[in-house]
Every structure is written in structure tokens, then in C-alpha cells.
Chain A
Amino acid sequence: MDRLLRQLTQLAITVFGIVTVTFFLVRMIPGDPAQYMLGDYATEEALATLRAQLGLDRPVIVQYGLYALRALTGDFGASVVTGRPALEEILLSLPDSAVLAFAGLAIAVVIGIPLGIVTAERQGSWSDLLIMVVALFGISFPVFWLGLASVLLFSQELKWFPALGASSGGGFLDQIHHLVLPAGVLGISVAAYITRLTRSAMLEVLGQDYVRVARAMGVPQRRVVWRLALKNALVPILAIVGVTFAWSLGSAILIEVVFSRPGIGSMILKAVSARDYQLVQAGVLVLAVAVVLVNSLLDLAYGLVDPRLSTR
């Protein structure tokens, strides 16, 4: 209970920090929202009126104070483009992005963790070397490049999967069909990372005394690796998954753009080019809170894995 309270306090502080940082970051984007909305031929008078209407004529620090106060009540302003509440716009497109990010992460975990374990077990063998080289390529290639390459191969040449869209209105199977390629690209690029880090976490555990003891007591190699060692490596592995979740969200944004999928990513991109401050702020905030939430949940999970980390 105490632990939960601590987590919640941490979460609140983090959210406040995020609100502050995004507020000022967004205002560092060059360009004037009023100018953007009214076009190049707007009169000085019209621009001034609009700025006053949006509150942009006041000092930035006052704008920040007002924004923070309203944010406390859950009001993150309205999108200047659509006029609807920014937070609502973002939350409506959250499921699309979440599906992509979680599908990608799931693929990454299912591929990356076993590969990391197997390579650690066979450290120095040719299969270890091969997988590590492939994983290095996976990390080195930018995710948008992998996305474009996979579109060329699997959509243009082989015509196995559609290249664009999410088929949001279509049937379940159709949606899955549209998800395979983007989630696969995301999953593979994250899997490369998870593989390498799982491998090093396992290598460290496999060098511990208690592993040698288990072997000296005749516990079979498979039990030693997949049960006795793995549970110890799980805390660092969970931490890695937490970090890669943030990374998958970031990559999901790029992938949404490459595959023209709806989602927070494509929405933020449009909002940035429209200087839609409120929408950008709400979008970044939602993504950041998602990352913090997932990591807080993982923090709680550590205690389940390692009894020394749980408060009794």
C-alpha cells in the first residue's frame, strides 16, 4: 500500500514535469499558429485578434500558468484546427497506436527473450555469433527504412500484405491483415534490442555461484537455464521491456506515418506542422504518461519476481 502510494506520487511528479517540458518545447517550434491558420495574406489586425483569442498575446509564463491550472482540472485546451478538446482527440486515436505498439512489443518479446537466452547459453558458438550479427543489423537499420523495405518486398513484389491504412472499419481478420506488416517491422526492430540485452542479463546470471551449485547438484541444463537462471534474469529483462515500450511507441509513430495508419503518431505529426500547440501537448503528454504507467506497473512486478525487492 505504502509502495503504491509512493508510485502514485512519483507518477504525479513525472506528469507535472512532462506538462512543463512539453509546454515550453512546443513553443520553441518556429512559426506562428495564427499566421498558419489564417494564411499568408491575413491582415495584421486579423492576426492580432486571433492571437488575443488564443491567448498567445500574453507573456509565455502567464500562458504556462493558465495552462497548468486548467490542466489540473483535466482541461488541456482545444485543438485549434478541429475545435474539439485536444485530450479527447488524442484519446480517441490512442487505441490505434496502442494496438500497434503492443502487437509490436509482443512480437519483440516472443522473439527477443528466447533468442537472448539461447545465445547466452551458447556464448561464442557460431549460432550465437550469427544471431548477434543479425541483431546488430536489426538495431542499426532505422525502423522507417525497414518499414519502406518491407512494403516494397511484401506489398509491392509479393503482394502478401496491404501497404497502407489500418482498415479501421473492416472486419477483425482484415484489421489483423493490415497489422501484420507494421507490427512485424516494429517487433523485429525492437526484438533485436531485447535479444542483445536479454543475452547480457542471462550471461551475468549464468556466471553466478548458484548456477554452478545447481549444476554440481546434477540439475539438468535445461532446468538450470530456463528456470533457475531465467527467473533471476527476469528483473533486468522486465526493465528492458519497460524501456523498449517507450521505444516502441516512438517507433510506432514513424511506422504510422510510413504505413499511413491512423493513430497518435500521425496525429501529432499533423499537429506539429499546423502549430496546433494544444494537440501536440496533449499527444506528448498521453504518450509520456503511457510510458510512465507501464514502467510503474513493471516496478510493481519486480517485487513478484525477486522476493528481496518486495516490501513485506
Chain B
Amino acid sequence: MANPNPHPGLSVAPPPPVAPVPVPRPVALELRDLTTVFPGDDGPITVIDGISLAVRAGGTLAVVGESGSGKSMTFLSALGLVASPGRVQRGEVRIGGADVLGQTPEQLRRLRGAVVSMIFQDPLTALNPVFTIGEQIVEVLRAHGHFSRAAARTRAVELLARVQIPDPARRIDDYPHQLSGGQRQRVLIAMAIALSPKVLIADEPTTALDVTVQAQILDLLAELQADTGMALVLITHDLGLVARYADDVAVMYAGRLVEVGSIEEVFSDPRHPYTRALFRSIPRLDGPVDEELPAIEGQPPNVARLPPGCAFEPRCTLGRGRADCCTKRPLPLAGDRSGHRSACFHADRLDQMEAAQ
């Protein structure tokens, strides 16, 4: 039962008139049942709980959710970067088909930067202030071997040109504070793609930048992706960016996955009340000016004190107080790589329930 027009403020590219039969591309990165815990006063606190996701080569997966929902933690866990005393409790991280979580720290290090790279939210703090940008790119190149000093520097200039830094041969000796925020994010992208990784994880890459620069950075990422065929994971809370750049979307809430699907599926027929609430809270240019923006009631959950049932139940206008939502814990979404899935018990009846209110 599809909702015909739940959120006209967002444009989703219409499907091509004659859909070619797609050849399934190989899965570049797959997480299965990934679970990370931190020690707490009353036993371990589960910060991400049974996350299963897959990104195909050349594809873009957007991961959305509010701050603290575990978006970044999911991928830090996948790269073995969880800060002590947190630890990955269980799960698999498959890169090119092999589970990398059981590997030694040294093997994991060799994967990071070379096979899976990550860029972060704030380019102002992500570059080392006391080294030139060239030294920092060279450091990454040489961390993965095979580069003489001179060759690494030549490659660094190429990379800076690749991310459209003007006059790269001169700018390479600049320190980060001599560059603008957008340029610094470009430098970080240059570091991240230095070794042609198969997967690039972009953790809110434009949140700290102003809007005009945002589009430039994301267009650059899309262009690099088209050239190299790398998979892109876009962690964001900006649904507009999701609609524009992503193929698939995963919605997280309180460290759990609540809905996964292609953007056509999720945007045209959101099957979780949280996803629906997210869409309703987007400001719209064509709406009445004085209309109050519907916000999601209540407080973001504390993952140390989740209710026994569905984590969203206390804030859910449809399920609040329902016996099943209060007591039964939704099963983690299966990592079967495809299809539109929702963790809501009432996923198939949301339209009727909304209409009945």
C-alpha cells in the first residue's frame, strides 16, 4: 500500500522509463549483526545493536538518524577504531567477501586507508595543524608502503589536483590553517582516496561547511565515485542530500537499524513511524510560512536506558502504549542485502493507523 505523495518537498529522480535489467554489482562492504558495547555502571551499554548493512561497488548508501543514534559508531566499529574501553562484541565485517573483524590489528591497519577510507565531519580539526598538507598526504601514502619520498610527493601533488585544489604544486607546502574549510575537506578527501580504496565512508562530510561549499564537496565525491567505481557510505542527517546522492538508505535509531531500502522505496513508502516523522519534520519552501514545523515529541533516547520493547515506542504517535510495542523487542533487520525492510511491528498497517488517528 504505497503512499502516493508523502513528502513533495523532496525530489527523487524518477525511474528511467525503460528499466534495464541491472547486473548486480559485487558487495564491497558488508556488516552483519555488528554490535558494539561500552562498559557502564550497570553492565555493558550496547551503543550499536545488531547492525546489518551492505554497500555495492559503485553504489552510495546513506545512513541517517539523529545525533547519537550510532551512525558514526557503526563504521568506526567496522574499521576497528572504537575508542577504548568500547569494544565490538559480535558481528562480522566483510570486505571483498572476507571477514576482517577477526584479523590482527596490523592487518586491520593495512585495510584502513587502503581498502576502506573514512573522512570526518569537521575538516577544521581533522588535519594536523603542525604538518603541511603535503606531509600529511605523504604520511598516508607511505603508511601503506612502496613510495619513495619523491614519488610520494609527486603523487600528493596529483591527488591535490584531483580534488581540485588550485595550484597544487605550491599549496602542497601550506599548513592547514592557510586553507579554507572547503579546501581542507578536499585535502582530507585527497588523503582518503590516495590509495584508491574500494569503500569511502564520509561521516557528515559537509555539516561543518557552508551550503555552497557543501554541494561542491558532494559533487566532487560523486565524480570521484563515478571515475573509480568505489562504494560510498554517506553518513548524514540531511535528507535532501540523501535524495540527491544516495542509491540506498538506512535509518538508525538508538543504535538500531529501523528501516532499510532503496531511496525510491523508502522515500515513496516509508515503513517505519520514525522515518515518517523524519520526513514530516523537513522544512518545506512551498508550505505556509507561519506553520509550526512538526518536531518529533520527546527526548532522543539514552541508549543506556532503552525501554524493553521498541526503542521508538515512547515517542511514537502510533505505537505508544501498545502492548506489543512496549514489551516485544523488534528483531534486528536481516542483512540480506536487498529489499525494503522495516523493524516496525506494524510496518504493513501504518497508513491505516495514521488514517484512524
Interface residues of chain A, those whose CB is within 8 Å of chain B, are 124, 208-210, 212-221, 223, 227-228, 231-232, 305-308
**24 A-B contact pairs sorted by A residue (CB < 8 Å):** A208-B125, A209-B125, A209-B126, A210-B125, A210-B126, A215-B112, A216-B117, A216-B118, A217-B113, A217-B117, A217-B143, A218-B113, A218-B140, A218-B143, A219-B139, A219-B140, A228-B139, A232-B128, A232-B130, A306-B129, A306-B130, A307-B129, A307-B175, A307-B177
What distance in Å separates the Cβ of A141 from its nearest Cβ neighbour in chain B?
33
Contacts of B143 in A (CB 8 A): 217-220, 223
Closest to A235 in B: B130
Cβ of B12 within 8 Å of any chain A Cβ, yes or no, is no
Cβ of B329 within 8 Å of any chain A Cβ, yes or no, is no
Contact-size category for B = 20 to 34
Closest to B124 in A: A209
Cβ of B230 within 8 Å of any chain A Cβ, yes or no, is no
Does B118 contact A214, Cβ atoms closer than 8 Å?
A: no
Contacts of B126 in A (CB 8 A): 209-210, 213
Cβ of B350 within 8 Å of any chain A Cβ, yes or no, is no
Contacts of A220 in B (CB 8 A): 109, 143
Chain A interface mostly: helix
Does B109 contact A213, Cβ atoms closer than 8 Å?
A: no
Question: CA–CA, A231 to B114, complex, Å?
Answer: 25
Contacts of B139 in A (CB 8 A): 214, 217, 219, 223, 227-228
Given contacts A216-B81, A216-B117, 9 further A-B contacts (CB under 8 A): A210-B125, A212-B81, A213-B188, A216-B120, A217-B191, A217-B192, A218-B144, A219-B139, A231-B128
What distance in Å separates the Cβ of B170 from its nearest Cβ neighbour in chain A?
15
Does A231 contact B188, Cβ atoms closer than 8 Å?
A: no
Cβ of B241 within 8 Å of any chain A Cβ, yes or no, is no
Cβ of B122 within 8 Å of any chain A Cβ, yes or no, is yes
Contact digits for B36-62, partner A, Cβ 8 Å, 1 yes 0 no: 000000000000000000000000000
Question: CA–CA, A305 to B114, complex, Å?
Answer: 30
Question: CA–CA, A222 to B105, complex, Å?
Answer: 13
What distance in Å separates the Cβ of A167 from its nearest Cβ neighbour in chain B?
44
Closest to A218 in B: B113
Cβ of B249 within 8 Å of any chain A Cβ, yes or no, is no
Cβ of B110 within 8 Å of any chain A Cβ, yes or no, is yes
Does A216 contact B113, Cβ atoms closer than 8 Å?
A: yes
What distance in Å separates the Cβ of B195 from its nearest Cβ neighbour in chain A?
8
Cβ of B334 within 8 Å of any chain A Cβ, yes or no, is no
Does A232 contact B140, Cβ atoms closer than 8 Å?
A: no
5 closest Cβ pairs, A-B complex: A218-B113, A217-B113, A218-B112, A209-B125, A210-B128
Cβ of B111 within 8 Å of any chain A Cβ, yes or no, is yes
Contacts of A209 in B (CB 8 A): 120, 122, 125-126
Contact digits for B60-92, partner A, Cβ 8 Å, 1 yes 0 no: 000000000000000000010100100000000
What distance in Å separates the Cβ of A105 from its nearest Cβ neighbour in chain B?
24
What distance in Å separates the Cβ of A204 from its nearest Cβ neighbour in chain B?
13
Contacts of A223 in B (CB 8 A): 139, 143
Contacts of B109 in A (CB 8 A): 218, 220-221
Question: CA–CA, A307 to B136, complex, Å?
Answer: 15
Closest to B143 in A: A219
Cβ of B131 within 8 Å of any chain A Cβ, yes or no, is yes
Does A308 contact B125, Cβ atoms closer than 8 Å?
A: no
CB proximity to A under 8 Å, residues B222-247:
none
Most buried by A among B84, B110, B128: B128
Cβ of B304 within 8 Å of any chain A Cβ, yes or no, is no
Most buried by B among A217, A228, A306: A217
Contacts of A308 in B (CB 8 A): 129, 175, 177
Contacts of A216 in B (CB 8 A): 79, 81, 112-113, 117-118, 120
A219/B125 contact (C-beta < 8 A), A212-B81, A305-B130, A307-B177 known: no
Closest to A219 in B: B143
Does A307 contact B120, Cβ atoms closer than 8 Å?
A: no
Contacts of A208 in B (CB 8 A): 125
Question: CA–CA, A2 to B130, complex, Å?
Answer: 23
A228/B175 contact (C-beta < 8 A), A217-B191, A218-B144, A223-B139 known: no
Question: CA–CA, A142 to B308, complex, Å?
Answer: 58
Question: CA–CA, A180 to B46, complex, Å?
Answer: 55
Contacts of A221 in B (CB 8 A): 109
Contacts of B191 in A (CB 8 A): 213, 217
Q: Which of B114, B118, B127, B194 contacts A210 (CB 8 A)?
A: B127
Contact digits for B171-189, partner A, Cβ 8 Å, 1 yes 0 no: 0000101000000000010
What distance in Å separates the Cβ of B113 from its nearest Cβ neighbour in chain A?
3
Closest to A233 in B: B130
Q: Which of A215, A217, A228 contacts B131 (CB 8 A)?
A: A228
Contacts of B127 in A (CB 8 A): 210, 213
Contact digits for B128-160, partner A, Cβ 8 Å, 1 yes 0 no: 111100000001100110000000000000000
What distance in Å separates the Cβ of A45 from its nearest Cβ neighbour in chain B?
70
What distance in Å separates the Cβ of A246 from its nearest Cβ neighbour in chain B?
26
Does A213 contact B120, Cβ atoms closer than 8 Å?
A: yes
Closest to A208 in B: B125
What distance in Å separates the Cβ of A219 from its nearest Cβ neighbour in chain B?
4
Question: CA–CA, A231 to B118, complex, Å?
Answer: 24
